[in-house]
Chains A and B, each alone.
Chain A
Amino acid sequence: NAGVTQTPKFQVLKTGQSMTLQCAQDMNHEYMSWYRQDPGMGLRLIHYSVGAGITDQGEVPNGYNVSRSTTEDFPLRLLSAAPSQTSVYFCASSYLGSDLAQYFGPGTRLLVL
């Protein structure tokens, strides 16, 4: 199993550009989530999904969209990048019955100029 994979590993954007961060898992997990990690802030939940076709907002959803058309994939879209979205983004997944014990991807480092 590859576990949770994320692409790209690093990305530089200009303000106003859009992009999609990819996340995939091969463990047949129902639950997937996106977090951002900023210095001194820990991880903050952006969006999450409890299954294909179901998504919900986390703590910091503004400026981000998600969709879950398959169990395996959970892409995160930045509609119009802003410098405040410079961060490290982590995707995670888990079985719903595992008390949400999460498997994390390696992260995507995003710089918005």
Chain B
Amino acid sequence: SQQGEEDPQALSIQEGENATMNCSYKTSINNLQWYRQNSGRGLVHLILIRSNEREKHSGRLRVTLDTSKKSSSLLITASRAADTASYFCASAGTASKLTFGTGTRLQVTL
């Protein structure tokens, strides 16, 4: 399987804290994407970072990419209860395909 892996598998934090989740992938990429999935719903695209970028910000999201280690991290700052969801990374290689990681379940409690 070419699937990437994410860690931790599950993360529980309190509202206002930062949440960091990590993703590893296996092959060379053009870009790395992060998606959110609320329970029972489809995935929603959050942010994309290209292979020649090292860091990208969007609102409370910060993504880093280390192509030498084939890894990426997603930081959500000042988490809210509404951020409770599963988060998936997806790597886009030279072929027209996305390869998803196994996901991190984030629980933000009040």
Contacts and interface: CB of A to CB of B under 8 A. Distances in A.
Interface stretch (B14-22, B55-63, B75-83, B95-103): B95-103
B102 A101 contact: no
A104 B102 contact: no
Nearest to B47: A101
Contacts of A45: 97-99
Contacts of B50: 99
A41 B3 contact: yes
A48 B42 contact: no
Interface string B38-58: 001111110010100000000
A99 B48 contact: yes
| Interface magnitude class on chain B | 20 to 34
Interface string A78-113: 000000000000101000100111111111000000
**A-B pairs with lowest CB-CB distance, top 8:** A104-B42, A43-B100, A42-B102, A104-B43, A42-B100, A100-B92, A99-B31, A106-B42
Interface of B: 1-3, 30-31, 33, 35, 40-45, 48, 50, 88, 90, 92, 96-103
Interface of A: 4, 31, 33, 35, 40-45, 48, 50, 56, 58-59, 90, 92, 96, 99-107
Given A100-B96, A101-B45, A102-B43, 4 more contacts: A35-B100, A44-B3, A99-B30, A104-B42
